[in-house]
Amino acid sequence: MDKKQVAEYFDNMADVWDINMIKIQPKIDEILDRAGVTEGKYVLDVACGTGVLISDYVKRKVSKCVAIDISDKMIEKAKSKFSQYENVEFLCGDAEVFDFKDKFDCIVIYNAFPHFVDRDKLFKNLSKCLKPDGRITVAHGMGREALLKHHSGSAKNVSTVLPEIEEMTDLMSDYFDVDVSISTDDIYIASAKKCQDSI
C-alpha cells in the first residue's frame, strides 16, 4: 500500500461514496461526545472524505472545522456540499506530513485509520497541532471484526488491519495519554489527551 494508491482509490470512489454511506446517528453522537466535540471547539477532521461529519460539527456549534483528505476528488465533493459554512475549511493533503499552522481542541480520525501508511508519523505530526488540553480520537462506526470483513473487498489493497484496542493504545502512547478505549461488535473508539511531557 502506498499513498498514491490510496489517493487514487478514493478519487475513484468519490462520486458514489455518499450513496454507499451508512451513518448511524447514535454511534456518531457517542464518538463525538467521547471526542469532546462541543460548542466553541476548534476541530481538525482527518481523512474527512466527502464530509460525513461536517453537519454534526455544525450542529454542535464548533468555532471552526478544518477538514483534510489526501483525495482531491473527496475534497471537491465535500466543498460542493458544505461551501455555505464560513467556519469550515477544506484542505487536500497528507495528514502524516501536513504543516498545520493552527492548534486544535479536537482531532477526529473517523472511519479512516487503516488507510494511513505510517501510523507513528501520523500521530507524531498530529501531536504537534493539538492544544495542550486537546483531545485526539480514532474511531470507527463498526466493530473491528466487521471492519476487517468490510475491507476484504475492493479496499483490501488500500487498507491495513485496524489494531486491537490494546495495540492502538500502545501506538498512541508515545504522544498521547489514552483514557478511552472501547472495542465492541458495534463500535471502536480510542481517545486520548496530549502527553504532559510532550507539551
pLDDT band at 22 (very low <50, low <70, confident <90, very high): confident
Cα 73 to chain center, whole Å? 17
**Tens digits of per-residue pLDDT, 132-148?**
999 999 999 999 888 87
Q: Is the pLDDT of residue 89 over 70?
A: yes
Which residue range(s) make up the domain with 159?
A: 3-198
Chain segment 98-117, per-residue pLDDT in tens:
999 999 999 999 999 999 99
pTM given for the model:
0.95
Lowest mean pLDDT among 12-16, 55-59, 106-110, 131-135: 12-16
pLDDT of residue 198: 56
Neighbours of 142 (CB within 10 A): 20
Domain containing residue 140: CATH number? 3.40.50.150
For the chain, how many structural domains are there in total? Answer: 1
Report residue 152's pLDDT band, with 50, 70 and 90 as the boundaries: low
Residue 47, pLDDT > 80, answer yes
